[in-house]
Amino acid sequence: MRTSAPSQPGGGIAADDTVAISLHINGELRHVLTDRRATLLDTLRERLALTGTKKGCDRGECGACTVHIDGRRVLACLALAVMAEGREVITIEGVTPADGLHPVQASFIEHDALQCGYCTPGQVMSAIACIREGRATSDDEIREFMSGNLCRCSAYPQIVAAVRAAAAGA
């Protein structure tokens, strides 16, 4: 469902360009009012209190905002929230079981694959997809297919080890 405030006369952008949208997020249908120009990232964080998805660069360079849409990795800072209607959005909150950790999260802890932790939700979301895509069969492949996720703390060797171990089911 989508409704919106009326456009300004002459086709300009209305001061209040709010739309009501319905998003399938982490297995739930969520109804939210958001600006039609809002990114999925801002809508998740500011409107839906799903703050596990992080804002690093806000311009598609760091991977901190990685979520899954219909099973594929997407940078939420480059996607409009309205474009996610009718699709299945999974955030870091959606992969974390209520009673524990996803195996990839556990592997990150086991391998000390973080320092400040700011990039970690995005790294985990990319790692889950990387493994599911069958792109974690060697260290070089992991580096290549995780290359969109930057870590300012430079925990890369541990991240690769964590992904490798999770892919092996260790």
Site residues (vs ligand FES, CB under 6 A): 55-58, 60-65, 75, 77, 114-120, 151-153, 155
Phi (first) and psi of residue 143, to 5 degrees: -60, -45
Q: From the CB of 27, what's the least distance to ligand FES, in Å?
A: 23
Please report how close the Cβ of residue 74 comes to ligand FES at its closest, in angstroms.
10
Closest approach, Cβ 15 to ligand FES, in A, equals 27
Which residue's CB is nearer to ligand FES, number 2 or number 152? 152
| Burial (0-12, 13-18, 19+ Cβ within 10 Å), 132 | middle
Q: Which residues of 39-65 are buried (b: 16+ CB within 10 A; e: fewer)?
A: bbbbbbbbbbebebbbbbebeeebbbb
Which is closer to ligand FES, CB of 26 or CB of 66? Answer: 66
Token pair 């360079």 is found at: 61
The residue among 52 and 63 lying less far from ligand FES, judged by its C-beta, is 63
Question: Given the complex with ligand FES, which of 114 and 128 has the nearer CB atom?
Answer: 114
Rounded Cα distance, 66 and 46, in Å: 16
